[in-house]
Amino acid sequence: MNICYAIYGDEFHLLTLQNIKSILRFVLPQEKVNIYIIYNGVIKHKHIDYTYIETPLDIQKLPLMHQRIYIPEILHTSTGIDRVLFLDSDVYATCNISELWRVELRQKILGAVPHYHFKTIQQILQYYGLSELYDKTTHSKRQVFNGGVKLINIESYLSSDVISTYNNKVLMNKKYSVINNEEPFINDIFAGRWLELDGKWNHYPGMEWKSRCLIHPYGHDVAGIRKVPNNTHITSRYPV
């Protein structure tokens, strides 16, 4: 199982290490897990059991969120792996995730879970002021996925036009303040090219926790989230 994180220096390093522990505590003795941490800046205390990969200098010039589009390329160049599970630093495991790793992507480039707050591509583009990107023919009423948990087929990813298309769209829309957020752009690009995963693999803890395997508070403090009682709603940074 290959798991990857992307961080900037020590800012999310400790949180990342804490949540890696939550994953590894459920790993069975016969299961092998490779942890890759792609980083910019200085990491003060690298964990000896994990592989740290410094982001290439030319990519470091991009806003951090846009650097994520290059993760499969960085991993392929540095490690040669052809499949990876990308996780945000605030994703916390409550079960063994080997079932997720074994999901067959069925010729899709990646697998992801529908967004908790945004239901359609049209909605997320409207929210970010990018309505002109909406294409009725391509998008229709397609669902939106959250980018914090992605199971990626690296070979399919690199053989597609993902990176070049992404860069072109960002360049064309650089006048917008949303330019530092990758989520509307990846949903535009991957429309019809991603497999919907069970919601338990990227669960926003606004409702029940039962039978949820990966808890993802979408940027809220994970330590605080864990103390929230069941069925307690957490105010979102996005409108519901």
Q: What is the per-residue pLDDT across 136-183, written as a single tens digit (0 to 9) for each?
A: 777 877 899 999 999 999 999 999 999 999 888 877 776 665 566 788
> What pLDDT does residue 175 have?
66
Alpha carbons 130 and 37: distance in angstroms, whole number = 32
Give pLDDT < 50 ranges for the chain.
221-240
Alpha carbons 100 and 96: distance in angstroms, whole number = 9
Report the b/e string of 57-91 with b at 16+ CB within 10 A: eebeebeebbbbbbbbbbbbeebeebbbbbbbbbb
pTM for the complete prediction? 0.86
> What pLDDT does residue 198 have?
95
**Within 13 A of 239's CA, how many CA atoms are on the CB side?**
5
> What pLDDT does residue 168 have?
87
Looking at residue 114, the DSSP 8-state letter turns out to be B
> What pLDDT does residue 137 have?
78
Alpha carbons 193 and 196: distance in angstroms, whole number = 10
